[in-house]
Structure formats: structure tokens, C-alpha cells
Amino acid sequence: MTTIGTKLQFSIILEATLVCATVQVIYPTGLLDSIQGNQLRQEINQLVDNGHPCILIDCRDVELMDSSGLSALVMAFQKVRSVGGTLGLRAINDQVRMLLELTAMDGIFQIFPKEGSPQEAMMKQ
């Protein structure tokens, strides 16, 4: 756990040039598949276009995520990065973590354990 923590801090320091005055939190629910993923991606695109490049996806109510859902997150990540923003995941369940590890995507997203964690506070700096 500590190693993940340092890794996260490191990546956040790398992105310290960002100014995230506010972090928008999104709460998807249920099955995050290609259909939900598309909707989520559109939502995030809108947020970014409205000037909110820092987005946190709270996955506490996500029961299952498939690869298409994950690819939608990568597309969203692409979008936020294109305007210099950042995208984090919070409170992911074990299934989602497994999927992320299996596809080696856990190195791409910032992952926060739960609401109000110290790492998350750094995102807002």
C-alpha cells in the first residue's frame, strides 16, 4: 500500500503544473459497459468543454466494469489530458481493480482508495 502511495504522489508531483481549482466528481452506477461507457464519456466531454478539466470518477456504485467501459475511461482520459487536465478513479471494487491490473491500466489512471484520502487532497493542489 505504501508503495502505491509513493507512486501516486510521484505522479501527482509530475502533474503539479496543473491547477485543479475544483475537482468534478462523477458517480456512475451498476454495469459500466460499452453503452454506459459511451454516456459517461459524453458527460466528461461536456464537463471538459465547460472548463472542468479535473475529474474524479467515484466507482463505489459500479458493480462491474468490462473492457469497453474501461476503454471509455481511457478515451475520457485522452480528452482531459488534451486540455492539460487529469482524471482519477476512486473507491474501485476488486473486480475493477482486477481488470485494471490485467490490462496494466493501473499505471495510467490515478487511483484513490476512498473519499477524502490524503492523496486525493493533493489532486486539488
**Contact positions toward another protein, by CB under 8 A?**
33-35, 38-39, 66-68, 70-72, 74-75, 77-78, 81-82, 102-105, 107-108
Q: To the nearest whole angstrom, how small is the minimum distance from the Cβ of residue 100 to another protein? A: 10
Q: 43 vs 117, which CB is nearer to another protein?
A: 43
How far apart CA 2 and CA 116 sit, in angstroms, is 17
CB of 79 to another protein, least distance (A): 10
Question: Distance between CA 122 and CA 34 in Å, rounded?
Answer: 31
- Choice between 24 and 68, CB closer to another protein: 68
- CA distance linking residue 47 with residue 66, whole number of Å: 23
Task: Give the nearer residue to another protein in terms of CB position, either 24 or 71.
Answer: 71
In the complex, what is the shortest distance from the CB of residue 116 to another protein, in angstroms, rounded to a whole number?
26
**Inter-residue contact 102 to 71 (CB < 8 Å):** no
Beta carbons within 10 angstroms of residue 64's beta carbon? 13
